[in-house]
Amino acid sequence: MAETIQLEVTRYSPEHDAAPTFQRFEVPYRKDWVVLDALNYIKDKLDGSLSYRWSCRMGICGSCGMMVNGQPKLTCATFLSHYAPGAVRVEPLRYFPVVRDLVIEMTDFMVKLQKVKPWIIRKAEKSLADGEYPQTPQQLDAYKQFSMCINCMLCYAACPVYGLDPLFAGPAAIALAQRYNLDSRDQGAKERMDILSQHEGIWGCTFVGECTEACPKNVDPAGAIQQYKLTAAKEWLKSLLMPWGAK
Amino acid sequence: MTPHEKKGATQYTPYHPRWYRTRVSTYWWLWKWYYLKFVLRELSSIFVAYFVVITLLQVHSLSRGSETYARFEERMRNPLTIALNAISFFFVLFHAITWFNLAPRAIVARLGGKRVPDILIAGSNYVAWLAISATVAWFILR
């Protein structure tokens, strides 16, 4: 008989349930299967009503983040073999409202992301005739790590501060703001500082550090936030000592 | 209105009135060693403050003359005080070590275009700590 593994999956139907419950499924156990493969098996063969997000299944799109045995994981990069022979519990990402089964509502993150202006801001755009904005490898290196973020929101599910204070901008949004602040082509650091130096911005972070542990792309959002704190503190000191230098 | 909405968090569209929001347990910090370590680190600041107060009291009693200082020393010999100081010392060590180890995450120094390795940033904190401790020890023990 082929080997199998148990999956405990959160089920929640807003029309029928007051609270989520768990449903147990038995799926084939294959060493090369990730948790997402098992979910797809359930959807195809056992229960077509199971709802969850996924797209690329190769750790790029950031859609398939879920809690696997209590840890925020990309289910496309989390192998069943890591948990076998024990049961695998799959839940929606922590701290986000659940829409249905494993699907979370992400508007809060999208709004926060937009607020920090994660794009290149120029005071005046060069004309096409003036050519491109060249960048040295060192300049690229300054922000490259933070540009690896795929917006999967695992860091939010790992962050107890976000869980306790829903106003907190959160790890990914701040790391992405830092990504553009450190970009030599960008001139929008001041604009972002006004947004991020508020309490709900960088100062909400108490440096638990778990966001960095959870990040599947080694972005180190916790590091980005602490570096930003240092920059903000220096700016504050500068404005205190040299008030005429402020805008 | 949910507590989150009351606090002013992003308002969601009215099309899904029945989202389920899990409450964060009061004991979230027991879920993982990483969380517990963080809470212990935060808690350690109380003991750091305690040591600051003790040091201020010590300086104060020293300035009041040898009799007052002898009374201070007597109080410090109390087994309960010794136990509290031992616990505080453990937390102060924990505080210092965990913060020194985290320093490289916040400080990105570049030398000759290359990022200074983490070990040098954390190491410089430890070296400064040792140097200051040795200076203090020299003053006390000479």
Residue B105 vs residues A183, A225, B19, B63, B94: alpha-carbon distances, Å: 19, 9, 37, 42, 18
CA A73, distance to chain mean position in Å, is: 10
Q: Characterise A104 by phi-psi region: left (phi > 0), alpha (psi -120 to 50), beta (else).
A: beta
Name which of A31-35, B8-12, B132-136 the model is least confident about. Answer: B8-12
DSSP alpha helix (H) spans, chain A: 35-41, 107-115, 137-144, 154-158, 160-164, 171-181, 189-196, 210-214, 221-241
Q: What is the CA radius of gyration of chain B?
A: 24
Cβ-defined contact of B10 to A111 (cutoff 8 Å): yes
User: Which residue from A14, A94, A213 is facing B16, i.e. has the nearest CB?
Assistant: A14
Four-residue CA torsion sign, B20, B26, B30, B33: positive
The two three-digit tokens of residue B135, written as one number:
């200076």
Do A41 and A48 meet the contact criterion of CB atoms below 8 Å apart? no
∠ CA A64-A68-A70, nearest 5°, is: 130
Bridge-based pairing of strands A98-100 and A21-28 is: unpaired
DSSP alpha helix (H) spans, B7-117: 33-63, 66-76, 79-106
pTM of the model: 0.88
Which residues, numbered 165 to 184 in chain A, qualify as contacts with chain B under a Cβ-Cβ cut-off of 8 Å? 165-167
Bond from prior residue into A85 cis (ω within 30 degrees of 0): yes
Question: Model confidence over B100-111: pLDDT tens digits?
Answer: 998 888 888 888
pLDDT of residue B52: 94
Residue A77 vs residues A28, A68, A83, A241, B138: alpha-carbon distances, Å: 18, 11, 13, 50, 56
Q: How many residues does chain A have?
A: 247
User: Which residue from A105, A163, A165 is facing B28, i.e. has the nearest CB?
Assistant: A163
DSSP alpha helix (H) spans, A17-65: 35-41
SS3 A65: strand
Do A188 and A117 meet the contact criterion of CB atoms below 8 Å apart? yes
A196/A193 Cα distance (integer angstroms) = 5
User: Which residue from B24, B32, B105 is facing A164, i.e. has the nearest CB?
Assistant: B24
User: Which residue from B10, B20, B106 is facing A226, i.e. has the nearest CB?
Assistant: B106
Banded pLDDT at B34 (limits 50, 70, 90): confident
- Structural domains in chain A, CATH included, are 4-104 (3.10.20.30), 107-245 (1.10.1060.10)
Which residues, numbered 52 to 71 in chain A, qualify as contacts with chain B under a Cβ-Cβ cut-off of 8 Å? 70
Q: Is the pLDDT of residue B82 over 60?
A: yes
ipTM confidence score: 0.77
Q: Which residues contact A170 (CB under 8 A, 6 or more apart)?
A: A109, A112, A155, A156, A159, A162
SS3 content of chain B, % helix, strand, coil (to 5): 70, 5, 25
How many residue contacts between A and B have a Cβ separation below 8 Å? 84
pLDDT of residue B114: 79
- Structural domains in chain B, CATH included, are 3-141 (1.20.1300.10)
For B30, the closest chain A residue by CA position comes to A160
* Residues lower than pLDDT 50 in chain A: none
Q: What is the mean pLDDT of chain B?
A: 87
Query: Considering only CB atoms, which chain A residues are within 8 Å of B115?
Result: 141
User: Which residue from A107, A207, A209 is facing B12, i.e. has the nearest CB?
Assistant: A107
Question: Around Cβ A230, how many Cβ atoms within 10 Å?
Answer: 14
Closest CA to A204 of A177, A181, A225: A225
Query: Considering only CB atoms, which chain A residues are within 8 Å of B28?
Result: 160, 163-164
Banded pLDDT at B90 (limits 50, 70, 90): very high
Cβ-defined contact of B20 to A107 (cutoff 8 Å): no
Whether A213 contacts chain B with CB within 8 A = yes
Range A191-214 burial, b when 16+ CB lie within 10 A, else e: ebbebbbeebbbebbbbbbbbbbb
pLDDT of residue B132: 95
Q: Which residues contact B127 (CB under 8 A, 6 or more apart)?
A: none
The two three-digit tokens of residue A96, written as one number:
């986000």
Overall average pLDDT of the B54-70 stretch = 93
pLDDT of residue B79: 94
Q: Is the pLDDT of residue B50 over 70?
A: yes
How far apart, in Å, do the first and last CA atoms of chain A sit? Answer: 73
For B40, the closest chain A residue by CA position comes to A208
pLDDT of residue B23: 86
A191/A122 Cα distance (integer angstroms) = 11
Banded pLDDT at B5 (limits 50, 70, 90): low
For residue B140, give how far its alpha carbon lies from the nearest alpha carbon of chain A (Å): 35
Do B108 and B79 meet the contact criterion of CB atoms below 8 Å apart? no
Closest CA to A57 of A80, A87, A35, A90: A35
